[in-house]
Chain A
């Protein structure tokens, strides 16, 4: 896939039609010329070097490639990069500021919400989207929201704890009673 990306992006050849797209990635506008069949996951990883977005199953099952598209979680292996033209994309690299982790990231650290870490970026972005919509989720709400993201290590227990930890912290930061 890397070679295909390179073939597509770096030297598509004169007879290969490309399209210029501008995508806001983690707040920064990126303009690239790409072949329409390039998948968003591969633009992010190979084209923009944002390798925090993982490609797991490549078949829309596992959710490791989850990113936020205009704030909502999507599987970036199942969207063409050209479709992101004019839209906002947030990857795991956009979650933390220079000095501070996002509360969801902190939760995964505090509650041991990862083992191998492969599913973690997708899990965290899906969790962030959940907490924006529902700041006070139950355990069931968290399990439901993450049911499109597979983890083969943890058994999910600590992932759920991490998200609930983050929810509590975010509510406290927003001045609500936990």
Chain B
């Protein structure tokens, strides 16, 4: 399988890359990790006139916490950089839990966090963690930078809010105001397969009380499902008792829009969502008890 012909540009600065995008008038596509784009080029689902490879632009490969604990993830941070990160385990546990479940270990050496969010696959793990965590994408274009809430960034399957002359240069994920807790669970038939269902849960805990709860689902609808209101409504201001966990799991499961297919029936997938929410919250409750 071969991509159709394209012009290849490998700029060494963001300004140069944005200028190429601007000139292309919408016929150019950014190449970062390429782990979704290259397969799509090969299948000819995508046939851009110009491919703008940003891998030679310095300064995009870092992730760091700033002074207030906000996590910044540059456009060339690979999945495995987060899998082996020594920075995010305590501050952003939802992302840390998802990192080792993205695709397979070889794909993780190459694919990027920001690229995955931009790709906006309804099955995407990172978009779900971003929605649950209140993340933003920083877009840079000819007129400077703007921050876009991920819920306004991922518009639908394979559609994001970037203008044709903008690059997603960074993802920004806020810190918890108290203690960050979270988890990510994914059911897949084999490593690297599309998820049957996945659940991201992100909690901001003040003592043993939930200050804010976030949740998003992947694989159980035509888009990343925002279940923030459902889980926050069930848990905000409450403790993680079995009854509250059950209510939260039911509320989130009601948000799923699964379809029956070869990976399972709609009922089964909804049940998995409920089980995963309950399991993540119960694990957090148990770890709190142990710590107390």
Residues of A in contact with B (beta carbons under 8 Å apart): 1, 4, 16-17, 19, 35-37, 39, 58-61, 63, 66, 69, 72-75, 78-80, 82-83, 85, 126, 144-149
Listed by A's residue number, 8 A-B pairs whose Cβ atoms lie within 8 Å are A17-B7, A36-B51, A60-B39, A72-B110, A75-B107, A75-B110, A82-B53, A83-B31
Task: Say which size band chain B's interface belongs to.
Answer: 20 to 34
Chain B residues whose CB sits within 8 angstroms of the CB of A85 once the complex forms: 10
Please state if B109 and A147 are interface contacts (CB–CB under 8 Å): no
Chain A residues whose CB sits within 8 angstroms of the CB of B286 once the complex forms: none
How far is it, in angstroms, between the C-alpha of A74 and the C-alpha of B79 when the chains are bound? Answer: 13
How far is it, in angstroms, between the C-alpha of A97 and the C-alpha of B3 when the chains are bound? Answer: 36
Q: A19-B8, A60-B35, A83-B53 are in contact. Are A73 and B109 (CB under 8 A)?
A: yes
B2, B7, B105: the one contacting A4 at CB < 8 Å is B2
How far is it, in angstroms, between the C-alpha of A85 and the C-alpha of B7 when the chains are bound? Answer: 16
CB distance from A114 to the nearest CB of B (A): 19
Please state if B4 and A78 are interface contacts (CB–CB under 8 Å): no
Question: Is B64 engaged at the interface, CB distance under 8 Å to the other chain?
Answer: no
How far is it, in angstroms, between the C-alpha of A84 and the C-alpha of B85 when the chains are bound? Answer: 25
CB distance from A90 to the nearest CB of B (A): 14
Question: Is B146 engaged at the interface, CB distance under 8 Å to the other chain?
Answer: no
**Nearest CB in chain B to that of A73: its residue:** B106
Chain A residues whose CB sits within 8 angstroms of the CB of B2 once the complex forms: 1, 4, 37, 39
How far is it, in angstroms, between the C-alpha of A71 and the C-alpha of B153 when the chains are bound? Answer: 34
Chain B residues whose CB sits within 8 angstroms of the CB of A79 once the complex forms: 34, 38, 110
Interface centre among A35, A39, A80, A149 (most CB of B within 10 A): A80
Please state if A60 and B107 are interface contacts (CB–CB under 8 Å): yes
Please state if A74 and B8 are interface contacts (CB–CB under 8 Å): no
Q: A36-B51, A66-B106 are in contact. Are A78 and B191 (CB under 8 A)?
A: no
How far is it, in angstroms, between the C-alpha of A75 and the C-alpha of B80 when the chains are bound? Answer: 15
Question: Is B192 engaged at the interface, CB distance under 8 Å to the other chain?
Answer: yes
**Nearest CB in chain A to that of B7: its residue:** A17
Please state if A148 and B5 are interface contacts (CB–CB under 8 Å): no
Chain A residues whose CB sits within 8 angstroms of the CB of B110 once the complex forms: 69, 72, 74-75, 78-79
Chain B residues whose CB sits within 8 angstroms of the CB of A146 once the complex forms: 105
Please state if B55 and A83 are interface contacts (CB–CB under 8 Å): yes
Please state if B51 and A72 are interface contacts (CB–CB under 8 Å): no
5 nearest A-B pairs in the assembled complex, by CB-CB distance: A148-B104, A36-B8, A148-B106, A147-B191, A72-B109
Question: Is B42 engaged at the interface, CB distance under 8 Å to the other chain?
Answer: yes
Question: Is B292 engaged at the interface, CB distance under 8 Å to the other chain?
Answer: no
Chain A residues whose CB sits within 8 angstroms of the CB of B8 once the complex forms: 19, 36, 80, 82
**Nearest CB in chain B to that of A63: its residue:** B106
CB distance from B173 to the nearest CB of A (A): 25
